[in-house]
């Protein structure tokens, strides 16, 4: 409907300030844009509320890229034992804020964190959070979205019950709060060490709270949640002197004959308390300038938190910190210039924003951090990161970050993974780690493809031999996830280990990436061994049904078989046979052959997308959302599936499916994500897909080409070059790729090489109304031809 020029009814913008210009002039204007302007335009396009509704599980609070502190409002405490819905602390539908806590996951399907909840109040002190349904029943407050502001590095809201204007910003290790209290009422700040995402009795195994002589508040808490024995420390300072304080333990503690610290019954005289249920209340004169509070966290100890505060947050200039946070985001997001409809720009830059929440910094200013052994280590020449949601993020997030972030970021990720392995009792790479600790969540050894993808792209500033050794160790640790039977039988035996079909498939892919690296390193034995293992997907393939299935130790498939069945611990991981049977990213052509040819794959894929599926079928599976037939965009096993038509020589079907997915699964509104953002994987899928290509097989250095959803996007690569994608005309009437040029020359393949991107250049798509059934249909024009087994 729209072609070539902008219309008021469907506003488009290159940056916010050039809306209404013709595309050509917009393009001409780009060269004159400074990096700062580019960054500011990118930041302005971000809407942190996207994903905070529905089950996106993102949060709207203040964070810097990859920051350790992720400071955000929490809107429900009472029901957090439900975990899933409030995994990020905030749900857009809620109208009550319980406080602002300093650690959050962005987009997880499981819950933890929510450390160090701070809440400003006035009037009578309430120690309990209260019930959101009962105003005044606790320290919580009602709020109105109309008073909210959320921008990269900044969040503000008015707490209606108290008339307090609350603003948040952050640096890497410090959360900043600015509270404007109404005059004339007692002003308090409550620091609650009790609540967590996914709360239950005994979640906090220990905590400490101390008011130091200089007014610094320090403490820690240790929780037994998703990661067990997790310790986190803090140091908190206020811009105004304490008018008073009270330290409470709300649990009747296990006493030993009643010995108690001085003035144990006078919370206002306590200088230090320990226990499991601690809450501190700090009083201030509620007049004059707003109160600024800054809270640093440390994985190490209270001294570490104080040092983080001293080094990172020396003054009281909230606005300067806010400006610096915004500048960091401008630099990170400003790598892209995008011309697209407003909603697309908003969704794109917000997605990009969400790809830089994790892995997150996990290291004190002095380089100390905790490893999976829960011991303190010193990072030797690297920056330590944690929160590796690897089952999700190896697919597209890590590949994306190699393009949009300096290689040092990925090198540090790899070094962090290697360090974690060194400190692991099992001698293997992290599986799903946060705050340094292993959770054993999900399946696979997907740190392997993250490292392999980096290595194959030439990002290699880490000990290469150690990297390969770590990959091999992770792939051969027999007690892990059925690897014993996998190594012995060539598949994970379902009578030995749950979710065997999914495991066999994902292991085979991970193994292939090891072979890639080993071959490049000249380690032929290793390459041969893992090339062989990479073919293990065939042991899961049931030629009779055409599905990937779980096999028993005796070699037989488990019966009865229902390709629609799913459930935790069944043959598949968060999915069924319809969803998992296409996971051979490193050998799609082998899969096609096994299925019986291109047509068979296309028919299967169509059956996936076009099935009539009652969503109730997945009501018992929280993570299977975003359904299009069996295709579940809200969960990762589906993420590469739409691109598989390319491999069957029908790229126009990929183009159709991508439009179907983008139109239905991403919206520039709070409930705009079809499922958990999963530390940026959902967003990374969107970013790649918007640009027109996707890394179906990480470590292959190949992307499958889909179709762009932007008129133009220019990526300023870390190496200083630029890579531009263009699509014309871009509208609903021209959903198909007619032709593609790379640097002006026709591109005949639906595959794009990584080196073509990093060399800089332009990938231009001519879009058309009808499918081009001639382009990229020949065998050699399809992705996967150069990477297969």
Residues that bind a copy of itself (CB under 8 A): 110, 112, 198, 200, 202-203, 205-206, 208, 210-213, 222, 224-226, 228-229, 253-254, 256-263, 266, 269, 271-272, 274-276, 301-303, 373-376, 425-427, 432, 438-441, 477, 479-481, 568
Q: Which residue's CB is nearer to a copy of itself, number 140 or number 221?
A: 221
Q: Which residue's CB is nearer to a copy of itself, number 91 or number 276?
A: 276
Q: Work out how close the CB of 466 gets to a copy of itself at its nearest, in angstroms, rounded to a whole number.
A: 15
Q: Work out how close the CB of 438 gets to a copy of itself at its nearest, in angstroms, rounded to a whole number.
A: 7
- The residues, ordered by sequence, that sit 6+ positions from 525 with a Cβ below 8 Å of its Cβ are none
Q: Work out how close the CB of 420 gets to a copy of itself at its nearest, in angstroms, rounded to a whole number.
A: 13
Q: Work out how close the CB of 394 gets to a copy of itself at its nearest, in angstroms, rounded to a whole number.
A: 18
Q: Work out how close the CB of 428 gets to a copy of itself at its nearest, in angstroms, rounded to a whole number.
A: 8
Q: Work out how close the CB of 357 gets to a copy of itself at its nearest, in angstroms, rounded to a whole number.
A: 21
Cβ neighbours of 781 (radius 10 Å): 18
CB environment 664-701: b (16+ within 10 A), e (fewer): ebbbbbbbbbbbbbbbbbbbbbbbbbbbbbbbbbbbbb
The answer to whether 190 touches 197, Cβ cutoff 8 Å, is no
Q: Which residue's CB is nearer to a copy of itself, number 1 or number 425?
A: 425
Note if the bond before 560 is cis, omega within 30 degrees.
yes
Q: Which residue's CB is nearer to a copy of itself, number 291 or number 442?
A: 442
Kindly state the DSSP code that residue 277 receives in the 8-state scheme.
S
Q: Which residue's CB is nearer to a copy of itself, number 167 or number 302?
A: 302
Q: Which residue's CB is nearer to a copy of itself, number 435 or number 726?
A: 435
Q: Work out how close the CB of 55 gets to a copy of itself at its nearest, in angstroms, rounded to a whole number.
A: 16
Residue whose C-alpha is closest to residue 261's, from 240, 247, 251, 250: 247
Q: Which residue's CB is nearer to a copy of itself, number 158 or number 439?
A: 439
Q: Work out how close the CB of 228 gets to a copy of itself at its nearest, in angstroms, rounded to a whole number.
A: 5
Cβ neighbours of 381 (radius 10 Å): 8
Cβ neighbours of 94 (radius 10 Å): 20
Q: Which residue's CB is nearer to a copy of itself, number 75 or number 196?
A: 196
Residue whose C-alpha is closest to residue 65's, from 94, 84, 42, 93: 42
Token code pair at residue 466: 């150690």
Q: Work out how close the CB of 238 gets to a copy of itself at its nearest, in angstroms, rounded to a whole number.
A: 18
Q: For strands 722-728 and 761-768, give the pairing.
A: parallel
Token code pair at residue 134: 């009962």
Q: How far apart are CA 450 and CA 516, in angstroms?
A: 12
Q: Which residue's CB is nearer to a copy of itself, number 380 or number 525?
A: 380
The answer to whether 171 touches 309, Cβ cutoff 8 Å, is no
Q: How far apart are CA 384 and CA 680, in angstroms?
A: 19
Kindly state the DSSP code that residue 434 receives in the 8-state scheme.
E
Q: Which residue's CB is nearer to a copy of itself, number 102 or number 276?
A: 276
Residue whose C-alpha is closest to residue 50's, from 488, 255, 438, 352: 352
Tally of CA atoms within 13 A in the half-sphere of 304 that contains its CB: 23
Q: Give the DSSP H/E element, type plus range, for residue 448.
A: helix 447-456
Q: Work out how close the CB of 259 gets to a copy of itself at its nearest, in angstroms, rounded to a whole number.
A: 5
Q: Give the DSSP H/E element, type plus range, for residue 179.
A: strand 174-180
Q: How far apart are CA 44 and CA 19, in angstroms?
A: 13
Cβ neighbours of 67 (radius 10 Å): 23
Q: How far apart are CA 691 and CA 413, in angstroms?
A: 25
Q: Work out how close the CB of 478 gets to a copy of itself at its nearest, in angstroms, rounded to a whole number.
A: 8
Q: Which residue's CB is nearer to a copy of itself, number 257 or number 779?
A: 257
Q: Work out how close the CB of 417 gets to a copy of itself at its nearest, in angstroms, rounded to a whole number.
A: 17
Q: Work out how close the CB of 195 gets to a copy of itself at its nearest, in angstroms, rounded to a whole number.
A: 16
Q: Which residue's CB is nearer to a copy of itself, number 274 or number 461?
A: 274
The three state secondary structure string of 532-567 is HHHCCHHHHEECCCCEECCECCCCCECCCCCCCCCC
Residue 330's SS3 state is helix
- The residues, ordered by sequence, that sit 6+ positions from 422 with a Cβ below 8 Å of its Cβ are 371
Dihedral in degrees, nearest 10, Cα atoms 106, 112, 118, 124: 130
Residue whose C-alpha is closest to residue 256's, from 248, 264, 247, 246: 264
Q: Which residue's CB is nearer to a copy of itself, number 326 or number 368?
A: 368
The answer to whether 346 touches 48, Cβ cutoff 8 Å, is no
Residue whose C-alpha is closest to residue 178's, from 187, 165, 188, 189: 165
Token code pair at residue 473: 């160790």
The three state secondary structure string of 204-228 is EEEEEEEECCCCCEEEEEEECCCCC
- Which residue bears the tokens 């406080």? 99
Q: Which residue's CB is nearer to a copy of itself, number 19 or number 376?
A: 376
Q: Work out how close the CB of 613 gets to a copy of itself at its nearest, in angstroms, rounded to a whole number.
A: 25
Return the CA Rg of the chain: 26
Q: Which residue's CB is nearer to a copy of itself, number 110 or number 446?
A: 110
Q: Work out how close the CB of 271 gets to a copy of itself at its nearest, in angstroms, rounded to a whole number.
A: 4
Q: Which residue's CB is nearer to a copy of itself, number 244 or number 315?
A: 244
Farthest CA pair distance, the chain: 85
Q: How far apart are CA 54 and CA 673, in angstroms?
A: 7
Q: Work out how close the CB of 265 gets to a copy of itself at its nearest, in angstroms, rounded to a whole number.
A: 10
Angle between helices 651-665 and 598-610 (to 10 degrees): 20
Q: Which residue's CB is nearer to a copy of itself, number 362 or number 578?
A: 362
Find residue 204's DSSP bridge partners: 223
Q: Work out how close the CB of 372 gets to a copy of itself at its nearest, in angstroms, rounded to a whole number.
A: 8
């Amino acid at each position: 409907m729209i072609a070539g020029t902008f219309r008021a009814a469907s506003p488009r913008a290159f940056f916010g300030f050039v809306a209404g210009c013709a595309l050509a002039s917009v393009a001409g204007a780009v060269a004159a844009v400074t990096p700062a302007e580019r960054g500011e335009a990118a930041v302005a396009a971000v809407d942190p509320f996207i994903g905070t509704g529905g089950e996106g599980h993102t949060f709207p609070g203040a964070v810097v890229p990859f920051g350790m502190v992720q400071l955000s409002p929490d809107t429900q405490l009472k029901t957090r034992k439900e975990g899933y819905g409030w995994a990020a602390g905030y749900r857009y539908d809620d109208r009550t804020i319980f406080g602002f806590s300093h650690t959050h996951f962005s987009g997880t399907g499981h819950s933890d964190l929510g450390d160090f909840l701070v809440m400003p109040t006035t009037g009578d002190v309430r120690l309990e959070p209260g019930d959101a349904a009962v105003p005044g029943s606790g320290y919580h407050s009602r709020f109105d979205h109309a008073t909210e502001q959320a921008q990269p590095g900044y969040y503000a809201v008015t707490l209606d019950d108290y008339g307090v204007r609350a603003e948040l910003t952050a640096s890497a290790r410090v959360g900043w709060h600015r509270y404007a209290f109404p005059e004339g009422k007692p002003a308090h700040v409550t620091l609650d060490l009790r609540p967590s995402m996914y709360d239950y009795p005994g979640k906090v195994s220990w905590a400490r709270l101390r008011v130091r002589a200089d007014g610094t508040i320090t403490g820690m808490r240790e929780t037994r949640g998703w990661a067990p024995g997790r310790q986190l420390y803090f140091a908190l300072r206020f811009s105004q002197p304490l008018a008073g304080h009270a330290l409470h333990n709300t649990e009747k503690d296990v006493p030993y004959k009643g010995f108690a610290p001085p003035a144990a019954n006078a919370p206002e005289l306590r200088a230090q308390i320990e226990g499991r249920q601690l809450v501190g209340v700090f009083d201030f004169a509620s007049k004059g300038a707003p109160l600024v509070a800054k809270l640093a966290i440390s994985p190490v100890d209270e001294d570490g938190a104080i040092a983080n505060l001293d080094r990172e947050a020396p003054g009281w200039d909230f606005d300067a910190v806010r400006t610096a946070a915004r500048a960091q985001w401008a630099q990170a997001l400003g790598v892209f210039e995008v011309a697209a409809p407003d909603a697309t720009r908003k969704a794109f830059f917000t997605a990009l924003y969400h790809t830089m929440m994790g892995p997150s910094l996990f290291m004190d200013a002095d380089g100390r951090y905790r490893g999976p052994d829960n011991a303190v280590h010193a990072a030797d020449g690297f920056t330590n990161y944690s929160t590796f949601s690897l089952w999700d993020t190896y697919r597209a997030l890590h590949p994306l970050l190699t393009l949009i972030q300096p290689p040092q970021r990925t090198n540090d990720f790899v070094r962090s993974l290697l360090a974690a392995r060194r400190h692991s009792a099992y001698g293997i790479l992290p599986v799903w780690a946060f705050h340094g600790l292993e959770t054993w969540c999900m399946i696979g050894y997907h740190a392997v493809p993250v490292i392999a993808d980096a290595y194959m792209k030439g990002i290699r500033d880490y000990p290469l031999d150690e990297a390969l050794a770590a990959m091999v160790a992770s792939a051969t640790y027999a007690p892990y996830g059925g690897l014993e039977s996998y190594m012995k039988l060539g598949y994970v035996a379902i009578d030995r280990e749950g979710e065997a079909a999914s495991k066999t498939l994902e292991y085979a892919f991970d193994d292939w990436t090891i072979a890639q690296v080993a071959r490049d390193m000249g380690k032929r034995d290793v390459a041969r061994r893992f090339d062989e293992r990479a073919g293990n997907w065939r042991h899961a393939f049931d030629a009779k049904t055409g599905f990937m299935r779980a096999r028993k130790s005796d070699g037989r498939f488990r019966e009865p078989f229902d390709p629609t069945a799913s459930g935790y611990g069944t043959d598949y991981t968060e999915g069924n046979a319809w969803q998992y049977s296409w996971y051979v990213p490193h050998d799609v052509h082998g899969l096609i052959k096994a299925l019986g040819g291109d047509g068979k794959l296309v028919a299967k894929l169509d059956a996936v997308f076009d099935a009539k599926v009652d969503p109730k079928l997945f009501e018992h599976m929280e993570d299977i959302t975003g359904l299009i037939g069996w295709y579940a965009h809200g969960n990762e096993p589906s993420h590469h599936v739409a691109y598989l038509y390319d491999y069957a020589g029908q790229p126009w079907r990929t183009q159709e499916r991508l439009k179907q997915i983008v139109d239905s699964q991403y919206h520039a509104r709070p409930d705009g994500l079809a499922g958990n953002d999963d530390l940026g994987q959902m967003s990374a899928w969107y970013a790649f897909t918007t640009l027109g290509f996707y890394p179906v097989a990480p470590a292959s250095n190949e992307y499958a080409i889909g179709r762009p959803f932007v008129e133009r996007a220019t990526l300023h690569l870390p190496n200083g070059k630029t890579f531009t994608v263009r699509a014309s005309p871009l509208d609903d009437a021209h959903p198909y790729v007619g032709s593609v040029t790379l640097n002006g020359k026709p591109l005949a393949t639906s595959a794009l090489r990584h080196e073509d991107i990093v060399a800089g250049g332009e990938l231009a798509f001519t879009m058309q109304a009808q499918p081009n059934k001639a382009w990229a249909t020949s065998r050699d024009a399809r992705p996967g031809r150069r990477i297969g087994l």
